[in-house]
Amino acid sequence: MSTTNSTVCRFFLRGDCKYGARCRNQHPGGTSETQNIAQNNVKDNGASRRGRISKKSVPQTNPNQRVLPIVEAQSGPCRREEEREREEEQLRREEEARQHQEEARRRREEEERQQEEQQRRQEEEQRLADQQRRVTDAQVTIQRVVLAGSIVTFSSGLAIENTITGFESCRIRIKNLPYDTRQQEIAALFTQHGHDVSQFHIVSVKEMLGRNGKQEADIVASADVAQSLAIGLEGLEFRNERLEFEVGVFNAPGAMGALTPRNENTLTISCRAPSVRYIVEYPDIPFCRTKVAELNGCMCAGRRVKVEMNQRPPGHVLPNFRPNTIKISNLPDAVPDATVTAFAQSHLIRRLKPISFDTLLATRSLHKHINRMEGVEIESFDVTSRGDNEAGLLSIRVRFDTWDNAKKVHDALLDRRFDYICNSVFWLRIAPQALYTITIPSGQYRAQENLWKELQGNIKDRKACDLIIRESNDGNRRIHVSGTVKAALGALKVRVESLAAGEKIDGWHDHLTYPQAHLVQKITEAGAFLRSDYWKRTLKLYGEPKAVEKAKAVVMEELRRLASLEVTVKLQRPSVGYFARIGLAAMREVFGEDNVTLDIRSAEIMVRGGEEVRLHLDNHITESLKPINVNVAPGSHTCPVCYDDVSTPFQLVCGHVYCTGCIRHFLTSAAKTGKFPLVCIGNESTCGTPISIPVIQKFLPQPAFNHLLETVFTTHVDRRPQEFRYCKTPDCMQIYRRSEAVSVLRCPSCFSEICSSCGEDSHERMSCEYARIHNNPAEQERMSQAWLLQRRDIKQCPTCSRLLEKAEGCNHMTCPFVFNPPICLKLNSLSRCGAHICWRCMGVFDAANIYDHMSTVHGSIDADGPQAPMVVPGQYDQDRFEQDRIALYHAEAMERRRREEASRVAQEQRDQIRRDQERIAAEHAEAIERRKREEEQERQREERAAQWRRQQAEWQ
């Protein structure tokens, strides 16, 4: 129940109410009725917001209180006006509150919309970035050394883009690189000369010993590219350093290193060029000694001279000999006296008898002398210096076909005097025999000791090839392989490399980088030795086959034990939400519920398994640290492998989405299926988009990935027998590229020489077909028999199977007697046959009845009429046709001459190419030597000038 407030406004009574008609109290006594209207201030909470307030009676006042007369008619309108205004004010306030709420709602919705828009924009940007990354990954290529020396370039799907076989490869060694040189800078040296990155491969960059932190890089390229680059880049200035280049044979990683230069069949012959000696006199012997120390080794007239004290020859009496003299040697024979006077700073000089001869005539005489040696074949004869160098030497480099011939000429010229060089001797230098070495640990040798000794014992001819094992100071063993016969040396080298390589184990764990003592003990007790390579992440076992099998079982058991151990990884806080939403489910789907556990409170994830589990965990951690993760909604796509809704999606560059477990199984089983390249099988296997290499590496650990690369290349080679073939030497894994034209290829591992067309041993002067027949006696016999039986005048005796030739006469043929006792013994038959044969039907008759047969059956004894069919005989002794086979050789003489002519022309072309290459190499070496001489001469000139200035200052 509400009450009416009838209190009279005291401010109105004083005449200073500032509210006027809006005042809540009554204003009686006004000039008009409207001035006396009062409002009731009592609120009615139960009334409606738009209802009207009911009229209330005015309460009775106190009798003692002064009451002013109030007219009821005047207070009614005032309260209604007051109520109306209060309602309007209430409505206005409610409207303002509503508008404020609406404005707050709109602002909140706008903020949410902007946040959603920003989220969509960020997701779209991340989606585009992910797609761009997939596109970039699809263009990634890698290079690997596969099959003991082949440089292979792989693109997306592990498709093979380029192959440099071991037969085609060549090694370039770049020396004097700064210590901080990066591989990108080394590659730029090649790409700037127009060579694609697939044409070369940087094998290693390592520090050079004794070069103050300088590095050297080993690069593998094709022989043509290597030769052109080495010549073009020689002496190149790189970051204020002059680079040095060496070109040699590429040695596959883990193979034996060569200790001899590539031109091991080269003999260097040198002698003193035409020169003269001078005797110079000084005041006393101490001054002479001072001049010897001062002038010895200095340059004079373009030569580096030798200065020594002039000694009296023992056993000779020289009345004019003066001990206060020096002798200057190695001066040019045409040097003026004034030059010697200025050089020695003395006018007391005396010229001795010069050593003078014609260098051109001397080189020709030497060439003729070597050519007259029996069995010696010269491949090249190059005059590298005619005495115009500072050493004053006439030098010739002679290359022979074999090292034995080079040694033969070396022994023939050693310590002999020749008149065409003024009765002097030649100085000879020959490269040692081919020597290859490899070092193995002592533990490996102990495990393989019996195998090494067996390999040494199987060597029959130690001159052809030999195996020497030496123990170094640290206990390791150095294996040396040497020999003179390339085929035997190469075969032994390949067997040594195969034995030293050991057996690789499929598996890896970081704990095996340094195996524990109990595991090493078990392997040692099995008779084997274990080596682990952390950088290549490989395990290898060494020992006898049975010991390796036992040790392999021990290692595999250890790998399974390590895989079952739980590994805890601490996650960053931003990664926890990702694993709770996506990562945990994805890994559990692949590896099982029990092998992956996430602790949200401690931000730790626990996994069990080998390297593959760790690889997937690292990939998910990397993905979780992205600012935005854009994922395909599960169930929105169908997996191309299992044809079910995708649960944990993985998207490829083509847009197809796979289950993570399905794509992992698809890639890990690729090595077994042998279907390459690896492509997307979406759209019912019609997509065909190659799977990028980074995607494959996400699912395969490094050992499995390397094994897959080898499988891909092996499959590639096996599917192209017309393009690639393996080296014919057992255990040699090198491959070569076939060609239609006949050319000789040399294996860099076993040194065997192979024909590029047929794949057999080289046959430079024969065609492939003729070489095949020449090396196959059975095929020779078959062809001889077929050729002879094609002739109508030659048939086989039906009694003794000898060949008979009918030159003239009637059809009565008598098999001749055999008067060759050796042939009779080999035939193991009678020494005479004497059968009477009808030439037309090849029947055997008595001498008295054969003419009746010919007249009765054939109507004549002449050769007219059809001949008896030729019967191809069975196997017979080859020696019976020793004389008859001569006919085959006559028939092939013309073809042989044609082939020999073609081979001669081809050989001349090869010789010309080889001479051009050697000439280019000689010019290259000469340019380097000339540049060094010029630098040395400039340095000597500056030293002499400085010395001369010092002497002038002293004289003054």
For residue 897, what pLDDT band results from cuts at 50, 70 and 90? low
Cis peptide before 677 (omega within 30 of 0): yes
For residues 880 and 719, the model is more confident at 719
For residues 802 and 299, the model is more confident at 299
For residues 619 and 629, the model is more confident at 619
pLDDT of 44 higher than 50 = no
Cβ within 8 Å of residue 461, ≥6 positions away: 485, 488
For residues 104 and 921, the model is more confident at 104
Give me the mean pLDDT over the 856-868 stretch: 69
* Cα 564 from Cα 607, distance rounded (Å): 9
Cβ within 8 Å of residue 915, ≥6 positions away: 380
Residue located via tokens 């390791």: 476
Give me the mean pLDDT over the 333-350 stretch: 90
Cβ within 8 Å of residue 911, ≥6 positions away: none
For residue 553, what pLDDT band results from cuts at 50, 70 and 90? very high
Q: Over pLDDT 70: what percentage of the chain?
A: 82
E strand intervals along 215-360: 215-222, 237-238, 241-242, 244-248, 257-258, 266-272, 275-281, 299-300, 303-304, 306-309, 325-332, 349-351
User: Helix (H, G, I), strand (E, B), or coil: what is residue 471?
Assistant: strand
* Cα 298 from Cα 282, distance rounded (Å): 19
* Cα 51 from Cα 91, distance rounded (Å): 12
Phi (first) and psi of residue 278, to 5 degrees:
-130, 145
The Cα-based distances of 69 to 25, 28, 72, 850 in angstroms read 15, 8, 10, 186
Say if CB 475 and CB 508 are below 8 A apart.
no
Give me the mean pLDDT over the 349-366 stretch: 89
pLDDT at residue number 252: 63
* Cα 459 from Cα 453, distance rounded (Å): 10
pLDDT digits (tens, 9 = 90+) for 314-340: 766 677 788 889 999 989 988 899 999
For residue 237, what pLDDT band results from cuts at 50, 70 and 90? confident
pLDDT of 131 higher than 70 = yes
Cβ within 8 Å of residue 891, ≥6 positions away: 787
* Cα 270 from Cα 428, distance rounded (Å): 7
pLDDT at residue number 552: 92
For the chain, what is the mean pLDDT?
79
For residues 63 and 402, the model is more confident at 402
Residue located via tokens 């965990």: 617
Q: Indicate if the alpha-carbon torsion angle 93, 95, 97, 100 is positive or negative.
A: negative
Looking at domain 255-262+432-501, its CATH architecture is 2-Layer Sandwich (3.30)
pLDDT of 414 higher than 80 = yes
Of 422, 407, 412, 410, the residue nearest 463 (C-alpha): 407
Phi (first) and psi of residue 261, to 5 degrees:
-65, 170
Most confident of 693-697, 784-788, 879-883: 693-697
Residue 646 host element (H or E): none
| Neighbour-count burial for 261-271, b at 16+ CB within 10 Å, e otherwise | eeebbbbbbbb
Say if CB 478 and CB 435 are below 8 A apart.
no
For residue 434, what pLDDT band results from cuts at 50, 70 and 90? low
- Tokens linked to 200: 């070369």
pLDDT at residue number 632: 62
Q: Which segment of 236-240, 285-289, 568-572, 766-770 scores lowest on mean pLDDT?
A: 236-240
Superfamily of domain 167-249: RRM (RNA recognition motif) domain (3.30.70.330)
pLDDT digits (tens, 9 = 90+) for 442-473: 999 999 999 999 999 888 888 788 888 988 88
Give me the mean pLDDT over the 732-755 stretch: 85
pLDDT of 831 higher than 50 = no
Of 544, 555, 692, the residue nearest 154 (C-alpha): 692
Phi (first) and psi of residue 8, to 5 degrees:
-80, 135
pLDDT digits (tens, 9 = 90+) for 773-788: 777 777 777 777 677 6
The Cα-based distances of 519 to 550, 557, 611 in angstroms read 13, 10, 19
Residues in the chain, how many?
956
pLDDT at residue number 810: 86
pLDDT at residue number 945: 74
Say if CB 280 and CB 430 are below 8 A apart.
no
Give me the mean pLDDT over the 359-377 stretch: 88
pLDDT of 63 higher than 70 = no
For residue 254, what pLDDT band results from cuts at 50, 70 and 90? low
For residues 853 and 805, the model is more confident at 853
For residues 42 and 751, the model is more confident at 751
Give me the mean pLDDT over the 260-272 stretch: 75
For residue 35, what pLDDT band results from cuts at 50, 70 and 90? very low
* Cα 659 from Cα 530, distance rounded (Å): 39
pLDDT at residue number 211: 65
| Neighbour-count burial for 867-896, b at 16+ CB within 10 Å, e otherwise | eeeeeeeeebeeebbeebbebbeeeeeeee
- Tokens linked to 486: 């390339």
pLDDT digits (tens, 9 = 90+) for 643-658: 888 878 888 888 898 9
* Cα 948 from Cα 940, distance rounded (Å): 12
β-strand partners of 836: 814, 845
- Radius of gyration of the chain from Cα atoms? 52
Most confident of 72-86, 250-264, 326-340, 733-747: 326-340
Give me the mean pLDDT over the 563-583 stretch: 83
Of 466, 360, 480, 374, the residue nearest 421 (C-alpha): 360
**Residue 535: what residue type?**
W
Of 795, 799, 796, the residue nearest 836 (C-alpha): 799
For residues 335 and 819, the model is more confident at 335
pLDDT digits (tens, 9 = 90+) for 171-217: 788 888 888 888 888 888 888 777 778 788 888 888 876 667 788 88
pLDDT of 233 higher than 70 = no
**In 279-318, alpha helices (H):** 285-295
Give me the mean pLDDT over the 783-800 stretch: 74
Say if CB 433 and CB 419 are below 8 A apart.
no
pLDDT at residue number 452: 93
pLDDT of 748 higher than 50 = yes
Q: In CATH, what number does 566-718 get? A: 3.30.40.10
pLDDT of 516 higher than 80 = yes
Of 353, 333, 357, 355, the residue nearest 420 (C-alpha): 357
